[in-house]
Amino acid sequence: MKKTELKTLEAKACEIRKRTIDEIGFLGVGHIGGALSVVEVLTLLYYKYMEVSPDSPGKKDRDRLVLSKGHAGPALYSVLADRGFFPQEWLHTLNRGGTRLPSHCDMNRTPGIDMTTGSLGQGLSAAVGMALGNRLDGIDRYVYLIVGDGESHEGQIWEGAMAAAHYRLNRLIAFTDNNRMGIDGYTSETMNIEDIAAKWSAFGWYVQRVDGHDFEAMEAAVDLARKELRRPSMIVLDTIKGKGAFFAEGDTGNHNMQVDYGTALEACRRLSTIEQ
């Protein structure tokens, strides 16, 4: 990755992070922890890899993203608004009456959302179906999937993992947001999923593990995954829940928390200072 491209992606991720904090802070409550831990991977996918268009969001021949951890929707909304799928003013309607931006992703309400999610564990099954459908229709596009580490406690995740490997869905590239926290605290205490990379490998996937906030590392991993021709890919992203929000980062209560708007604006100001 060229230095200019890296700087552009880092600046865009900072912008998306600030917009997401502002979005949730304006509402006063939200899933800020898990939204902020996926900012970099969403930025990389939507600004470097994914073939999508706000002018034709339902185009059949397109790349798709399934955000299985649907509570991270606010981060995805920030990206989609920036890409022009809907007006940025919508962001301040998050989870309010009549909004088209519910707290969890809804493909019937939000332009650019490829799959309704929120019932944890189901996103992988949907992504498997999409990848199989593309193969049957002769569509040579990618299905990208983001699952949570806490979500990986669900049995349906591993049923989907078996199916994807069985059908050799090499156009399915998944990411685990391994931020080590769930709604009930640290995943190591509620239900330890390590060694998560070894688990996916045992299920027949091509597996890599990288820093989920490092663009160069993620780019290298995605490039290798796109070259894999025989099996689906899982890229385990080691991330920080609440990344970049001083009031949420490292707080085990940051899954869904009250956010004072003044505090949110201060967090955005601090991020702007760091960026400069």
- One DSSP character per residue, 82-114 reads HHTSS-GGGGGGTTSTT-S--SS--TTTSTT--
Encoded tokens for 225: 């995954």
- The pLDDT score that the predictor gives to residue 26 is 97
pLDDT at res. 250: 83
Predicted local confidence at residue 1, as pLDDT: 85
pLDDT of residue 77: 98
Q: If DSSP codes are grouped into helix, strand and coil, which group holds residue 245?
A: coil
211 prior amide bond cis, ω within 30: no
3-state secondary structure of 200: helix
Which parts of the chain register pLDDT below 50?
A: none
pLDDT in the model for residue 274: 74
Give the Cα separation of 258 and 130 in Å (integer).
36
pLDDT of residue 276: 59
| Integer Cα distance of 237 and 65 in angstroms | 16
Given this model, what pLDDT does residue 273 score?
Answer: 86
Q: What is the pLDDT of residue 83?
A: 98
Token look-up 């990389």 returns 44
What is the predicted pLDDT for the residue at 170?
Answer: 98
pLDDT in tens, 37-48: 999 999 999 999
Q: Which residue has the tokens 């034709």?
A: 56
Closest CA to 88 of 98, 78, 96, 97: 78
- pLDDT tens figures, 221-242: 999 999 999 999 999 999 999 9
Instruction: Identify how many contiguous H helices and E strands the chain contains and give both numbers.
Output: 10, 9
Contacts of 227 (CB under 8 A, 6+ apart): none
